[in-house]
Amino acid sequence: MTAEAQKSRSMSKDLMVYVCLLVLAGIQFVIAYQSISPGQMFTRMLVVAVIEASLALLFFMHLADNRGLLWFVVIFNVFVLLAMQFGWTDAFRLSSGVPWAK
Amino acid sequence: MGTTQAEMTIPSHSSFSVMEKPTFSIPAKKMAMWLFIIADTATFAGCLVAYGFLRNGTPDWPRPFHSITNLALMTFILLTSSLTMLNGVRAARAGDRARALRWTLITAAAGILFALLHIREWMSLINEGMTLFKNPWGTGLFGATFYSITGLHLTHVTGGVIALVVVGLRYKAGRYNADDLEVLGLYWHFVDLVWMFVVPFVYLLNLAH
């Protein structure tokens, strides 16, 4: 493949990812106007945001081309994000009493 | 005889190597940026999770946003700026310095536009009585978390715009190379990526219905 063809292919890939990101951002706005519970709304928006972030990481930040770095970034971030979830029970206790208490 | 300077100073049996392969086969500057991005992800995640705890545990959490026009425009501008940044890096890789500078400055202009829209939105909220500690709709925590998270993001955008202009001009002058522009591109995409989480959780979940 010539350098020019490679450049054109890379440009069209970036453009496709950009359009996908715009559509996904639009979907988040649509979800915001759905008549669903806040929990459902949060879950749907989180799923869309994670897909958007994955596309940006893989193609705009080129992690798809470097598998070692991809695993390093993913494992580290997932660990940190999971470690931050310890306080949710307290957040629920503040609004609706100690969870599972009779 | 016939040995180079490097071979003379470092014995061949040494466990060290002058040309050690870089971590994950990327340049050190790029690796440093990735480490910064990982650390900054933890910062933003910490802010968003703390915001989630407070929002969940506060019964009178306000939902003051009525219009999404400004937010949609800001999102569109920031996403588009990522595309223009990619074009700038591609031009730099091709060795076209003028074109790379042009795309980098377009990206910076998009960043400035985003920041101006953001400040306009802040001014309108301040005029409605929303400050860091109180607002007319509910708990004062809303203003504190809203301004902290969006302010932290705005600070990143502002810093990014300054860096885009400086690095772009220095690249054009031949003081920086395409790698430097690519490293800055990573930062700019990260700023865009964070916005993808700020929009739904800080704005859209607080839309007035």
Residue range B43-49: average pLDDT? 96
Name the pLDDT band for B18 (thresholds 50, 70, 90). Answer: low
Structure tokens that stand for B36 in this block:
């910064």
ipTM of this predicted structure = 0.89
Name the pLDDT band for B57 (thresholds 50, 70, 90). Answer: confident
Percentage of chain B lying above the pLDDT 90 cut: 80
Per-residue pLDDT of A33-65, as tens digits, reads 999 998 999 999 999 999 999 999 999 999 999
**Spatial contact of B143 and B126, defined as CB atoms under 8 Å apart:** no
Asked if residue B170 has pLDDT above 50, the reply is: yes
Radius of gyration of chain B (CA): 22
Alpha carbon distance B135, A99 (integer Å): 30
pLDDT of residue B83: 97
Which chain A residue shows the shortest CA-CA distance from B203? A32
Name the pLDDT band for A93 (thresholds 50, 70, 90). Answer: confident
How far CA B2 is from CA of A29, B6, B13, B164, in Å, comes to: 69, 12, 18, 47
Which chain B residue shows the shortest CA-CA distance from A15? B83
Residue range B47-74: average pLDDT? 92
Structure tokens that stand for A59 in this block:
């193609």
DSSP collapsed to 3 states, chain B: CCCCHHHHHCCCCCCCCCCCCCHHHCCHHHHHHHHHHHHHHHHHHHHHHHHHHHHHHCCCCCCCECCCHHHHHHHHHHHHHHHHHHHHHHHHHCCCHHHHHHHHHHHHHHHHHHHHHHHHHHHHHHHCCCCCCCCCCCCCHHHHHHHHHHHHHHHHHHHHHHHHHHHHHHHHCCCCCHHHHHHHHHHHHHHHHHHHHHHHHHHHHHECC
Inter-chain contact B46–A73, Cβ cutoff 8 Å?
A: no
Structure tokens that stand for A99 in this block:
């969870």
Residue range B161-168: average pLDDT? 98
Minimal CA–CA distance to B206: which of A65, A54, A60, A42?
A42
pLDDT of residue A90: 78
Q: Mean pLDDT across chain B, nearest whole number?
A: 91
Q: Pick the residue of B86, B87, B90, B114 with the most A CBs within 10 A to test the interface with A by mutation.
A: B86
Which chain B residue shows the shortest CA-CA distance from A54? B193
Q: Pick the residue of B56, B139, B192 with the most A CBs within 10 A to test the interface with A by mutation.
A: B56
Minimal CA–CA distance to A52: which of B203, B37, B193?
B193
Contacts of B52 in chain A (CB under 8 A): 88, 91
Residue range B87-112: average pLDDT? 96
Among A14, A68, A90, whose Cβ lies nearest the Cβ of B83? A14
DSSP class of residue A87 equals G
pLDDT of residue A6: 79
Beta bridge partners of B127: none
pLDDT of residue B15: 54
pLDDT of residue B16: 54
Q: Mark which residues 27-66 of A lie under 8 Å from B by CB.
A: 28-29, 31-33, 38, 41-42, 45-46, 48-49, 52-53, 56-57, 60-61, 66
Contacts of A87 in chain B (CB under 8 A): 49, 53
Asked if residue B28 has pLDDT above 70, the reply is: yes
Asked if residue A3 has pLDDT above 90, the reply is: no
Bigger pLDDT: B8 vs A52: A52
The torsion region of residue A13 among left (phi > 0), alpha (psi -120 to 50) and beta comes to alpha
* This prediction's pTM: 0.89
Among A29, A46, A66, whose Cβ lies nearest the Cβ of B26? A66
pLDDT of residue B23: 80
Distance from the Cα of A32 to chain B's closest Cα (Å) equals 6
